[in-house]
Amino acid sequence: MLQSMRIIGGQPLVGEIQISGAKNLALPAIAASILTDETVTLNNMPNLADTSFMQDIAMHFGSNIQRISNNTYEFTTKKITTTIAPYDYVRKMRASILFLGSLLSRCGHAKISMPGGCAIGARAIDLHIYAMRKLGVHIEIENGYINAKADKLIGSDIIFDHITVGGTENAILASVTARGTTRIINASKEPEVIALCKMLNSMGGKIYHDNDSNTIIIDGVDKLHSTTFKIISDRIEAGTYAIAAAITKGKITLKDCVYDDLTLFFDCLKHAGIHISKNDNSVTVEGCDVIKPHSVTTAPHPMFHTDLQAQYMALMTIADGCSHITETVFENRFMHVNELNRMGANIVVQHNTAIINGVMRLNGARVMATDLRASVALVLAGLSADGETIVNRLYHIDRGYEDIDAKLSGCGAKLERVNVEQ
């Protein structure tokens, strides 16, 4: 049986929400755990479908995983038992490609099925392959598999022609034990990438980043060792619940939210009339009576994050005027537009820009999630809408949001999961 979410909208959300660990760090951190034969302990690990899939793949490679507490896991990979990742293991999630760098670093060879994931665009792996080849890896692609081998990984200058989060992470994982120095130029500087570098440094790596440029420098080491590392809080989850407060005209305190990781996003909410206040380890978001239209363009950090685009669009559907959202990261990330329009929104897409003419209110409807962030945008819209909203294909949302039902209902949301026949 599949699950849907039934939402009765119109209730202002008031309360506190504990922000979980970042999915976008947890996945590369799991890939990094197999770089050593010693135990890697990860605290603040979010319990998600995606982290569960990633753990399954790590165990396939030989990792023994112990759950110490609800959000603490120990990963011990004494020996890599196979360097082949078959299709059935990696088809569900694109982040599985990160094991390519880890396996090459530890074993010098890997055979990885081409990855899958959300249908939000091509997200080609050409930059991953380019980075591996720059490190001396011989790669052939045949029958849907990446076959990679290297006698020795040799440090090199890796110059990306555009910023890639996954490509940067894979290059870091592969080069951390490469011979010599690697410079990643035009590297991603997302907080999760910097946190991955800190984790690897705690394992004995020598990774540096230039604060004034998008350059990451890795001096290869012979061996990595055990560590205990805390996953940083999930800024995308924090941004999502900030919009939940704004779209329902409520007031939510986001505990363990790092304001500086979302500075531009919170500035956009302020331009829309939303009240934001911050403390040392929390941010309080309070909605307003009239939401002002405000236009954004997605781009790599520190600009507006593509993973918050769908949620922000849901908010702009009830703004008092016209706003524009331009998507520059993924070419197919407006699939939620038709579903929002089913709820009474007025959105027109022209090329990579969505033109949103705000309406007084949204109306409940039966809608279908197409990817992770689109699914939560529809939930947000349902929380604001008049009447009942049914969000189908709820499995998307469980990939990236831990205990979303409890967190929202704890602030007064009226929602429940219902089983539906396939």
Give catalytic residues, as residue numbers.
118
Q: How far apart are CA 63 and CA 226, in angstroms?
A: 14
- Backbone phi, psi, residue 164, to 5°: -135, 125
Q: How far apart are CA 47 and CA 401, in angstroms?
A: 9
Q: Two tokens at 276?
A: 């934001």
- Backbone phi, psi, residue 23, to 5°: -55, -40
Contact 408, 397 (CB under 8 A): no
The answer for residues whose C-beta is within 8 angstroms of residue 135's C-beta and 6 or more apart is: 104, 150, 153, 154, 155, 156, 158, 171, 174, 175, 178, 182
The answer for residues whose C-beta is within 8 angstroms of residue 278's C-beta and 6 or more apart is: 259, 284
Within 10 angstroms of residue 260's Cβ, the number of other Cβ atoms is: 10
DSSP 8-class letter at 216: E
- Backbone phi, psi, residue 390, to 5°: -115, 120
By the 10 Å C-beta count (0-12 exposed, 13-18 middle, 19+ buried), 131 is classed as: buried
Residue type, 79: K
Q: How far apart are CA 22 and CA 289, in angstroms?
A: 32
